[in-house]
Amino acid sequence: MGQVTTKQVMKMFDLDLISGEEGIGRHIPISDISRPGLEMAGYFTHYPANRVQLLGKTELSFFAMLTPKERSDRMMKLCTDDTPAIIVSHGVPVPEELIAASSNRHVPVMTTPMSTTRFSSLLTNFLESKLAPTTAIHGVLVDIYGVGVLLTGKSGVGKSETALELVKKGHRLVADDCVEIHQEGENTLVGSAPKLIEHLLEIRGVGIIDIMTLFGASAVRTFKRISLVIDLEIWDQDKTYDRLGLEEEKMKIIDTDLTKLTIPVRPGRNLSVIIEVAAMNYRLKRMGVNAAEEFSNRLNEVIAQDTN
């Protein structure tokens, strides 16, 4: 899981820092945002102090109705050692009590001209993407007909060479050798390349090549949702490979199960064409067209007729 600091949020959304600059390096542990309406009314029993606190017109208009002692007390309770930041939306002036409390507790207070709902949505999306569970896998990620295909297999099996052939056919490279994967939602895995090797492909005997320079910007993508895993392995004569496609193997990455195909590699097999067909067949299955099941049904009908 990644880390996000208040300073990153301030730079990302061009927020104005009002007070509490000593705490600008505080970490934001979760993507949830709190609208402390009940806290303004004095109820702090279940106060989520470790969330970013977002104050809008509703909270501050109620706050203005409180007595001076109540205002000071509420803001001191709002600013804790665990509070990563307090943000005031709509460009509303920050109450003096909040400035005093934030300076005392070193809690950053910032403002934004955006509406509360708009800013809350943007900040939540930003935090979810940065704090999403993350892993890295040795493989190649390619966008084939809109399907994110992750090629895996032992080193030297031909993943990069196959990816190069796919790029020549008009498909797009996302990452080679190391694929960084983020779980951005339920059953949603997004893969990208580390900045160091972005757009680069390693071909044994040739070296490292820049795909964007050779084939243009249309040959690469910055990120892609992963839908299908294809494992390349050297052909094993003693192993029985799936010839119908009725059984669907799964591979678990983080908390998501992905469809996995195992394709044996040996001289004479055109891997790029096979992988293209696998991606198209995957799309057809998701659209309700399953050739393997249709063939099985036909076979069962023929067998039933012969037995009768």
- Dist. CA 127–CA 82, nearest whole Å: 17
Residue 25 is predicted with a pLDDT of 94
Residues 255, 284 within the same domain = yes
- Dist. CA 23–CA 283, nearest whole Å: 49
Residue 1's pLDDT band (boundaries 50, 70, 90)? low
pLDDT average, residue stretch 45-62: 95
> Is position 302 within any domain?
no
Residue ranges making up the domain that contains 31? 4-131
Last residue of a domain, one of 96, 131, 166: 131
The CATH number assigned to the domain holding 103 equals: 3.40.1390.20
Residues in the chain: 308
- Is 155 marked as a binding-site residue? yes
> Is position 32 within any domain?
yes
Token pair for residue 147? 């399907």
> Is position 242 within any domain?
yes
Residues 140, 80 within the same domain = no
Residues 240, 264 within the same domain = yes
**Percent of the chain predicted with pLDDT > 90:** 77
Residues 125, 211 within the same domain = no
Residue 123's pLDDT band (boundaries 50, 70, 90)? very high
pTM: 0.73
Last residue of a domain, one of 131, 150, 179: 131
The CATH number assigned to the domain holding 194 equals: 3.40.50.300
How many structural domains compose the chain? 2
Residue the block writes with tokens 């012969």: 306
pLDDT at position 234 over 80: yes
- Is 153 marked as a binding-site residue? yes
Task: Give just the sign of the alpha carbon dihedral 207, 210, 214, 220.
Answer: positive
> Is position 306 within any domain?
no
Contact status, residue 139 vs residue 224, Cβ threshold 8 Å: no
Residues 141, 283 within the same domain = yes
287 compared with 166, residue with greater pLDDT: 166
pLDDT at position 132 over 80: yes
Residues 95, 172 within the same domain = no
pLDDT at position 306 over 80: no
Residues 117, 181 within the same domain = no
pLDDT at position 193 over 90: yes
> Is position 303 within any domain?
no
Last residue of a domain, one of 114, 131, 148: 131
pLDDT average, residue stretch 24-53: 94
pLDDT average, residue stretch 106-113: 96
Q: For the residues of the chain, what is the DSSP string, one character each?
A: ----BHHHHHHHTTPEEEE-GGGTT-B---S-EE--HHHHTT--TT--TTSEEEE-HHHHHHHTTS-HHHHHHHHHHHS-TT---EEE-TTPPPPHHHHHHHHHHT--EEE-SS-HHHHHHHHHHHHHHHSS-EEEEEEEEEEETTEEEEEEESTTSSHHHHHHHHHHTT-EEEEEEEEEEEEEETTEEEEE--GGGTTEEEETTTEEEEHHHHH-GGGB-SEEE--EEEEEEE--TTSPPPSS--S-EEEEETTEEEEEEEEEE-TT--HHHHHHHHHHHHHHHHTT--HHHHHHHHHHHHHHHHH-
Where in the sequence numbering do the catalytic residues fall? 138, 159, 177, 243
pLDDT at position 178 over 90: yes
Residues 145, 92 within the same domain = no
Residue 295 is predicted with a pLDDT of 80
- Is 19 marked as a binding-site residue? no
pLDDT at position 143 over 90: yes
Residues 118, 139 within the same domain = no
Contact status, residue 148 vs residue 256, Cβ threshold 8 Å: no
- Is 276 marked as a binding-site residue? no
Residues 120, 176 within the same domain = no
**Percent of the chain predicted with pLDDT > 70:** 99
Residue 223's pLDDT band (boundaries 50, 70, 90)? very high
Residue 209's pLDDT band (boundaries 50, 70, 90)? very high
Residue 308 is predicted with a pLDDT of 62
Other residues' Cβ atoms within 10 Å of the Cβ of residue 275: 24
Lowest mean pLDDT among 54-63, 250-259, 261-270: 261-270
Q: For the residues of 19-79, what is the DSSP string, one character each?
A: E-GGGTT-B---S-EE--HHHHTT--TT--TTSEEEE-HHHHHHHTTS-HHHHHHHHHHHS
